[in-house]
Copies of this chain bind each other. A is one copy, B any other.
């Protein structure tokens, strides 16, 4: 498997853990140190404790949203990588998401996540999204 494929697979695992509310897996996806996260509308969370506490709350919430993702693109530079993708929240709102990874003992662990609202209507971002989601 190429680095790019491995990183996109790690990125897919992140969204699976989110979708299933699997905090134990989410905890293992994140790196042990040097992590940060900006959830939509939130200030930055810095450090593993703050980031994982936020995911525990989000994954255990009754109101956890359904997130699909599209257009995942990997950028690799040695032991660090980034995936840019579009998150579709509840089939309606589009977010521009950046997920950063570091290779640790052969596995790509997450070091940073940021998702921010895209102002354009969903149809302009990806005309076929609604058709595929519905």
Contacts and interface: CB of A to CB of B under 8 A. Distances in A.
Interface of A: 34, 36, 38, 40-44, 46, 73, 75-80, 82, 84, 86, 94, 96, 98, 100, 102, 111-112, 114-120, 125
A46 B84 CA distance: 8
- Counting every copy of the chain, the complex holds 2
A115 to B, nearest CB: 8
A75, A96, A114 pick with most chain B CB within 10 angstroms: A96
Contacts of A34: 75-77
A84 B116 contact: no
A34 to B, nearest CB: 5
B116 A36 contact: no
Given A41-B118, A79-B80, 18 more contacts: A34-B76, A38-B96, A38-B114, A42-B119, A43-B96, A43-B118, A43-B125, A44-B73, A44-B96, A46-B75, A77-B80, A77-B111, A78-B79, A80-B80, A80-B102, A98-B98, A98-B114, A114-B114
